[in-house]
Chain A
Amino acid sequence: MYNFDFVKPSTLADAVAALAGDEAQALSGGQTLLPTMKQRLNAPATLVSLTGIPELKGVCRDGDTLVIGAATPHAVVAAEAAAHYPALAALAGGIGDPAVRNRGTIGGSLANNDPSACYPSAALASGATIVTNQREIAADDYFVGLFETALHEGEIITSVRFPIPTKAAYAKFNQPASRFALTGAFVAQYASGVRVAITGASEGGVFRWAEAEAALSANFSADALNGLAAPADRMIDDLHGTREYRAHLCGVMTRRAVTAAH
């Protein structure tokens, strides 16, 4: 990779100051950024590690909301969110592999917004709030497109606030090589209705599946989805799955998530 200066501040304020420098970039767990840098596809002058800042770490319950520090590794979420939001904990426990889960963080995943990553579906289906050093962003406004988010240059995610649903589950169908989601469906039931977010399938990245939400809000059962297929036209078509196959999997995975949520 290209060389860079490495800084590891211990406060958020120092991190924000460091990121204001020329060509500075935040580094969280590095499980996506470092492989990208090895390919020399990314050339920051300074990397600002966020893993040494205590205020960015931890899982805590705040009434009906679960608050997760942005630099909390997946393995910690898998363990500590289990009592509060089991579906989210299970999702975190299924990302990558054990060694990746010990380094990769929720903030890093959401900032990167890989179209096949798991976390974006949980944030979107939960109607989570992405909290940054500058503002709060609703998940519905946060995910802009492939690897694109509403974050500004130098803006740091500090935590993510997940409203805890009455029932929820995540069902993931692995891409066999990378083991990212070929298609993953996160279903969450709230008093206000059911939210369904699909990752891995669409050319536009994570999306809410409105038809499934309507059907499930009326009747929260797998049968409510019978005959429902996601539109194939914006699905990813590649070596691992055709457009039609991914559209089909949206239905299968959503049904499985609903069944698991019961």
Chain B
Amino acid sequence: MPKDGGIGASTKRREDLRFLTGNGRYTDDINLRGQLHAYFLRSQVAHGRINAIDSSTAQGMPGVVRVFTGADFEGVGGLPCGWQVTDRFGQPMQEPAHPVLAQGKVRHVGDPIAVVVAESLEQARDAAETIEVDITELPAAVDMKAALAEGAPKVHDDLTSNLCYDWGFVEENKGAVNEAFEKAAHTVSLELVNQRLVANPMEPRVAVGDYDPWNDMSTLYTTSQNPHVIRLLMGAFVLGIPEHKLRVVAPDVGGGFGSKIFHYAEEAFCTFAARKLKKPVKWTASRSEAFISDAQGRDHVTKIELALDADHNFTAIRTETYANMGAYLSTFAPSVPTWLHGTLMAGNYKTPLIYVNVKAVFTNTVPVDAYRGAGRPEATFQLERLVDKAARELGVDPIELRRKNFIQPDQFPYATPVAVEYDTGNYDATMDKMLALSDYAGFAARAEESKKRGKLRGFGIAHYIEACGIAPSNLVGQLGARAGLYESATVRVNATGSISVFTGSHSHGQGHETTFAQVVAEMIGIDAGQVEIVHGDTSNTPMGMGTYGSRSLAVGGSALVRATNKIIDKAKKVAAHLLEASEADIELKDGKFSVAGTDKSVDWAGVTLAAYVPHNYPLENLEPGLEETAFYDPSNFTYPAGAYGCEVEVDPETGKVDVLSFTAADDFGNVVNPMIVEGQVHGGLAQGIGQALLESCTYDENGQLVTGSFMDYAMPRADDVPAYTVDHSCVTPCTHNPLGVKGCGEAGAIGSPPAVVNAVIDALHRGGLTHVSHIDMPLTPSRVWSAMQAK
């Protein structure tokens, strides 16, 4: 039984106290003296040429301070893209400019045209309605394949076409893969859509810009997952403000799921306008505005094929995917369908040959970027749907087909044909665990019982692999990343022994304030209450990359371990001096330094006090003080994996799918706080079930968003999902980070969509509806019913 507050304990979250009492401090809770409000006038058409903007009436309206348009941003940098993909012909991707406010053209509904800054938000909005924008509407490119056709409307006039890149991976494998298909005993193919989603963290985005002219200091408060990244991108590429004159603060942030990674126009605008007007400028998104200004997720159209030999061994996989970029390249958009998708196409299987082709396409829609899982859900969905379809076509058990092709425990480390090396794993173990926990053996009886009630019951399986903590920096640099992917931590031990940790990771629901303290407390052997975790402010945290891609513990936690080890090393030197012993003989246990084999000891606070009041201290050999910083750059990704089982009941009269149970058996390596890990899985499962059954971001043929609010975009509610059974007792620790951890934030959203869809297809087949081989997500009642009718 782990000690409460130490590694392995389900320690209650300390941050909950402020959230549960209404004392959280979110960005919209910040109101600065003299603050002005910004209202963005946005395009109502998907594609148009701006002929003229007349804001003369607005300028004179009550409370209006200034109206900004694209003309005010001439000479100001555009929003940068942080990843350059090289296409299969060795050429860089097409990379269009992304202005803060529209320059000459609007390219999606929601593209900002002008901003009114006024004393109140309603005044700004009143004035914005008087701005006359003369726009010539142009035909819109919406469907990806149509956007690539000859003569299609061009989203960017200065590009050669709407093709951002045509990526092949691994291009050299292509011939061998095609050959394997020619020789195959069986082939199976599937065409599917991984629909566009909206992340919809419950807190809409907010930005508050502030400027202190006496110190020439700009401050941006923003709803970000990575304040240092925003400072770097906005300071260096957009506004030209050096880091020491720019502070970015991401205070309590109400969820992100990827959508708050990216640098947005509104952040740059508020910082820019505050400098111009010498007053704080605040912008708060409404939910409706979030739907047309937050980067969206997924949106792949894929054909995937599998070749098998006569013994049902997988011999090759071939995919062709169209990936929607939207109208501009959001910060990390190009990396999602490539390096976060193609590299995962091996899944848990020892398929020797794989070729992935991805065509990234510009369309007149909101930009698309990483959303919980980012590329990995798309890879997992197509692969796990295809394996299920193969089992059905071959007449074999889908579990056995998976097991037959699993990479075996003795094959690790395992190099896949898509350029990654899995360090550890045991996929049969997670499969066994899931089947036991879900009482798979009792399924047939339950299906029979459903049948008596006129319902169709099905069981769906998916086994996923994911890659977390994208790294190392020197490799991703070769792959086109324009950033490093390390993480940082500063451990400041105070004189009385309390500790302040400054981390480059950022918590927006993940509970770092609790778990990071558990790690430090365990290592030193002190109470977790003595450790404070500080994050989210570039003025006091070391340069770090923030939180996304399930990286915080694997990368940020590793930096924390390294910094704490430096502290312990130095503290041992001090202890050795105080105890008049050799450093090599000093042991640290339960917050006490002792000399091995003796009863001589000094406690933690005794050492820390000596470090800051160095009256008895080896000043000739050692600096006083006790503060260390570490940067950690991982040598590899981590590879969580797991088996997911979903049991559904389909109402044949209405097509409605009820998820009766969901079982997740994950291998996350070691776990610091089981309660928090389980919570992360729960949340991912709800988002995955939401994708499978409810959520869809839909545009009409003119590029108008059809699902622009919660009235039409179906968010999962409490009664849409079951109680989950989650397990993380199958552990193969990561071999290359000090905690042996793998990351758990995205797994639920990656593994669950194929399990749900496989369960529905299983239910229909058991009900005799064997003509239904696939239904595209979301499996709404109408879609399921329609599929059942088609023969």
Contacts and interface: CB of A to CB of B under 8 A. Distances in A.
B410 interface: no
Tell me what chain B mostly uses at the interface: helix, strand, loop, or mixed. Answer: loop
A61 interface: no
Contacts of B786: 242, 244-245
B780 interface: yes
A9 to B, nearest CB: 26
Interface string B750-791: 000000000000000000000000000000111001100100
Nearest to B707: A239
Nearest to B706: A239
A3 interface: yes
Contact of A240 (B122, B710, B780): B780
Interface stretch (A10-18, A47-55, A83-91, A173-181): A173-181
B493 to A, nearest CB: 49
A177 B782 contact: no
A208 interface: no
Contact of A252 (B654, B712, B720, B782): B654
Contacts of B712: 177-178, 239-240
Interface in A215-262: 239-242, 244-245, 248-249, 252
Nearest to A252: B653
Given A176-B694, A178-B712, A242 B654 contact: no
A3 B711 CA distance: 25
Interface string B704-740: 0011001111110000100000000000000000000
Interface in A155-212: 173, 176-178, 182
Nearest to A253: B654
B698 interface: yes
Contacts of B129: 40
Contacts of A177: 694, 707, 710-715
B696 interface: yes
B288 interface: yes
A240 B780 CA distance: 7
B785 A245 contact: yes
A248 B781 CA distance: 12
Contacts of A178: 710-712
Contacts of A245: 655, 781-782, 785-786
A51 B699 CA distance: 40
A173 B782 CA distance: 11
Interface in B16-44: none
Nearest to A251: B653
B199 to A, nearest CB: 16
Interface in B682-710: 694, 696, 698, 706-707, 710
Contacts of A241: 780-782
A125 B759 CA distance: 39
A3 B654 CA distance: 45
A173 B654 contact: yes
Contact of A239 (B696, B715, B781, B785): B696
Tell me what chain A mostly uses at the interface: helix, strand, loop, or mixed: loop
A173 B286 CA distance: 29
B653 A240 contact: no
Interface string B119-140: 0001001100100000000000
A159 to B, nearest CB: 30
Contacts of A242: 782, 786
A249 B654 contact: yes
B714 A176 contact: yes
A215 to B, nearest CB: 18
Interface centre among B654, B655, B698, B713 (most CB of A within 10 A): B654
A240 B712 CA distance: 8
Contact of A176 (B122, B698, B780): B780
Contacts of A1: 122
A80 to B, nearest CB: 26
Contacts of B654: 173, 249, 252
A239 B698 contact: yes
Contacts of B707: 177, 239
A249 B653 CA distance: 8
Contacts of A239: 696, 698, 706-707, 712
Contacts of A40: 125, 129
Interface in B558-590: none
A239 B696 CA distance: 9
A3 B122 contact: yes
A178 to B, nearest CB: 4
B714 A248 contact: no
A62 B29 CA distance: 52
Contacts of A39: 288
A207 B540 CA distance: 65
A2 to B, nearest CB: 8
B778 to A, nearest CB: 9
A252 B789 CA distance: 15
Residue from A173, A176, A178, A182 with most neighbouring chain B CB atoms (10 Å): A176
A26 to B, nearest CB: 23
Nearest to B716: A176
A176 B695 CA distance: 9
A245 B694 CA distance: 17
Contacts of B288: 39
Contacts of A173: 654, 656, 781
A240 B654 CA distance: 13
A176 B782 CA distance: 11
A248 B651 CA distance: 14
A239 B715 CA distance: 15
A2 B714 CA distance: 29
A157 B443 CA distance: 55
A51 B167 CA distance: 62
Contacts of A38: 286
B560 to A, nearest CB: 41
Nearest to A183: B654
Given A173-B654, A239-B706, A248 B711 contact: no
B384 to A, nearest CB: 24
Nearest to A179: B717
A19 B571 CA distance: 78
Point out which of A1, A248, A252 has the most chain B C-beta atoms below 10 A from its C-beta. A248
Given A244-B786, A245-B785, 19 more contacts: A1-B122, A2-B126, A38-B286, A39-B288, A176-B694, A176-B780, A177-B710, A178-B711, A239-B696, A239-B706, A239-B712, A240-B712, A240-B780, A241-B782, A242-B782, A242-B786, A244-B789, A245-B786, A249-B654
> Closest 6 A-B residue pairs measured CB to CB?
A177-B714, A241-B782, A176-B714, A245-B782, A178-B711, A252-B653
17 contacts: A40-B125, A40-B129, A176-B694, A176-B720, A177-B707, A177-B714, A239-B698, A239-B706, A239-B712, A240-B712, A240-B782, A241-B780, A244-B786, A245-B655, A245-B781, A249-B654, A252-B654
